[in-house]
């Protein structure tokens, strides 16, 4: 169980390689204040292509990180955009899309939530299995 934060924000950023995206997350966890980081998800270039084709999104077809932040006050989230941008820049990150309102976040996460359906559209013969991996940092 965890407390649902009062305030949330999200970010999406593209990278030329999965290694660049992974190194961004590693640096975020090692060197930045990540108390407000509630989720990070990675979609590879093939999945981004599938989303663009299936749902007519216009995202770069490159590895993409989705971030979600949460906290008890807007001040907790205020530095997250700059923090993600600073770290992503060191790892060839592309344009950062940052969302603070519920409507903006819903639009940003729409592609991520549709990934399963997009993947089935590319290869309908493939069986899909659901898994979740949770990390507990203490």
pLDDT value for 2: 61
**pLDDT averaged over every residue in the chain:** 85
Residue 111 has pLDDT above 90, yes or no: no
* Residues in the chain, overall count: 138
In sign, the C-alpha dihedral spanning 96, 113, 18, 119 is negative
Domain-embedded: residue 15: yes
Residue 1 has pLDDT above 60, yes or no: no
Residue 136 has pLDDT above 60, yes or no: no
Domain-embedded: residue 17: yes
Domain-embedded: residue 19: yes
pLDDT value for 135: 57
- Counting the structural domains of the chain, the total is 1
pTM comes to 0.82
Domain that residue 30 falls in? 7-122
Domain-embedded: residue 128: no
User: Which CATH number belongs to the domain containing residue 37 in this structure?
Assistant: 3.30.70.2190
Give the integer Cα–Cα distance in Å for 29 and 37. Answer: 9
Cβ neighbour number for residue 93 with a 10 Å cutoff: 20
Do 69 and 37 touch, CB atoms closer than 8 A? yes
Crossing angle for the helix pair 102-113 and 45-55, nearest 10 degrees?
100
């Amino acid at each position: 169980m965890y407390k649902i934060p009062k305030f949330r924000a999200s970010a999406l950023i593209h990278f030329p390689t999965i290694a660049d995206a992974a190194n961004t997350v590693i640096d975020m966890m090692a060197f930045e204040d990540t108390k407000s980081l509630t989720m990070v998800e990675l979609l590879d270039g093939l999945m981004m292509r599938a989303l663009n084709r299936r749902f007519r999104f216009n995202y770069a077809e490159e590895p993409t990180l989705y971030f979600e932040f949460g906290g008890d006050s807007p001040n907790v989230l205020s530095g997250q955009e700059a923090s993600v941008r600073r770290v992503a820049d060191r790892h060839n990150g592309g344009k950062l899309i940052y969302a603070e309102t519920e409507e903006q976040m819903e639009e940003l996460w729409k592609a991520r939530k549709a990934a399963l359906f997009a993947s089935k559209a590319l290869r309908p013969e493939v069986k899909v299995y659901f898994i979740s991996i949770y990390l507990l940092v203490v």
